[in-house]
Amino acid sequence: VRSVEGAPRGLTVTYQPEGSAGIGEVEVSASVPPFAGAGLGYVNDDDLRAFAGAISAYPLPDGARPALTTGVDDQETVGLTIFQVTSRGQLAVAVHLAVIDLDRHSPTSGTVSDAHMLLLTSYQALHDFATELVSAMEAHGGTARLPITDNEFS
């Protein structure tokens, strides 16, 4: 996983297919100052495509919380959940990113370092992000970015 130092504000998802099995690697980083984090996981292409479709819905159905999660064993390494914050259309992405030390010879083996953030966004930004996710899959690799919306909860 790359360093998040100097990462652009917002959410970045880089997709890379893993062979022809319909599975891809997602490298996810988020920066919501003063916090930042990164995580890595593997997703079924159909699940990623369904997530992109769900977050493109306007408006999100009442109570809908489209989510994408990856993990190692029972530990989530990437968790993205979208939900409506206000009745005026303000949306948020709950971001959970984790890195697990899997080196059995390390004194910190099994240690999990993680970050939780809330990224405010809009329907248009989320739609553009979903379009970029699908484009990354169709191009057999690429990056989607979701910038932060600086609006307050109101």
Residue-wise pLDDT for 63-73, tens only, equals 899 999 998 88
pTM: 0.88
pLDDT of residue 151: 52
What is d(CA 107, CA 86) in angstroms, rounded to the nearest whole number? Answer: 45
Higher pLDDT, 25 or 153: 25
Q: Are 28 and 37 in contact (CB under 8 A)?
A: no
Q: Dihedral through CA 89, CA 123, CA 120, CA 8, nearest 10?
A: -160
Q: Which residues partner with 44 through β-bridges?
A: 23
pLDDT of residue 153: 46
Confidence of residue 105 (pLDDT cuts 50, 70, 90): confident
pLDDT winner (highest mean) among 82-86, 108-112, 131-135: 131-135
Confidence of residue 4 (pLDDT cuts 50, 70, 90): low
Confidence of residue 74 (pLDDT cuts 50, 70, 90): confident
